[in-house]
Amino acid sequence: MKKKIKTKKLLILGALICLVTVIIGLTINFVLNGFNKIKPDEVLKQYMSFANERQYEKMYNLLDEKSKLENKKEDFISRNKKIYEGISAHNISIDIKGIKKDEDEGTKINYDSKINTLAGEISF
């Protein structure tokens, strides 16, 4: 009788350990692949925020791997610094109009942008 109770306890304990392991695994997977995935429009907003704050290295860090291969970090930072500071860009704002996902070309974001510069406000 004692052996049956001990066996049942071990089976229940084993099942609980398996269940907890599965739950932890699913949670880790969701956190790594769900919570940490930033939507493309949020990346664009963050990118433009960094441009507004003149944080060019942070802008570079938001680039995808392909873009990083095509742009050396030092060149990217230097080029953007010359552009944004050269025109005294400030109050950069964007208004996202739509997002289109394309299997071949990736995600495209349609947006309007306004930048205050030495020459006045530029909209595009």
Structural domain range at position 98: 39-123
Structure letter (DSSP) for residue 38: -
Q: What is the pTM of this model?
A: 0.66
Are residues 44 and 33 part of one domain?
no
pLDDT reported for residue 5: 63
pLDDT reported for residue 108: 86
Are residues 48 and 106 part of one domain?
yes
Instruction: Residue 52: give its domain's CATH number.
Output: 3.10.450.100
Helix (H) or strand (E) holding 10: helix 2-30
Are residues 87 and 32 part of one domain?
no
Domains: count for the chain: 2
Rounded CA separation 9/50 (Å): 57
pLDDT reported for residue 37: 65
Are residues 62 and 33 part of one domain?
no
* Among the listed residues 80, 117, 116, 111, the one whose alpha carbon sits nearest the alpha carbon of residue 94: 111
pLDDT reported for residue 102: 78
State which residues of the chain have pLDDT below 70: 1-16, 18-37
pLDDT reported for residue 69: 92
pLDDT reported for residue 38: 73
Tokens 């939507």 correspond to 39
Are residues 46 and 33 part of one domain?
no
Share the mean pLDDT of the chain. Answer: 80
pLDDT reported for residue 124: 84
Are residues 10 and 51 part of one domain?
no
Are residues 45 and 16 part of one domain?
no
Within 10 A of 90 (CB to CB), how many other CB atoms are there? 14
